[in-house]
Amino acid sequence: MEEKTCKYCGTTLEKEQELQSGVCSFCQKQKDSITESKRRTVFADLKKFDYFAHEGDFIELTEWTNGEGADLCISEGKNGEKYIPLTYGMLEALVNLAHRLVDIPVYKVGL
C-alpha cells in the first residue's frame, strides 16, 4: 500500500482524519492559527514632498489588523527602510505636533 504524506510538510500521515484531509495534525494546527485580513494602506512618492529624497524613496502608512494603530514605513534608498509602529493616539499626537511646528512664525518668514 502506498504511503500518504502531508501535502505541506511531507511527513507520513497515520490518523484517519489526517488521511482524509491530506494534512498532518501539526500542519493543520498551524493552518488553523493563521488569519488573513485586508488592511488599508496609503502610499506616496517621497520625492514629491521632500527636497532631499531620491528617486524611488517612498513613505507608506499601513493600518494594523486589530485597528488600534498603523505602521509607518519610510524608504530612503541606500539607507534602507525605517519602520515605526504607531498607535492612533501616537499618530494623532504626531500630526498635532507637525501642525504646530509648521505654524511657528520663524518658519513662515523663512519660506
* Per-residue pLDDT tens over the stretch 82-104: 999 999 999 999 988 888 888 75
Are 57 and 75 contacting, i.e. CB atoms less than 8 angstroms apart?
Answer: yes
SS3 18: helix
pLDDT at 106 over 60: no
Are 71 and 86 contacting, i.e. CB atoms less than 8 angstroms apart?
Answer: yes
CA dist list (Å): 83 to 18, 57, 60, 74, 80: 41, 14, 10, 7, 10
Are 73 and 62 contacting, i.e. CB atoms less than 8 angstroms apart?
Answer: yes
Cell of 98: 507637525
d(CA 27, CA 8) in angstroms, rounded, equals 7
pLDDT at 107 over 80: no
Query: pLDDT for 24-51, tens place per residue?
Result: 888 888 877 777 788 899 999 998 888 8
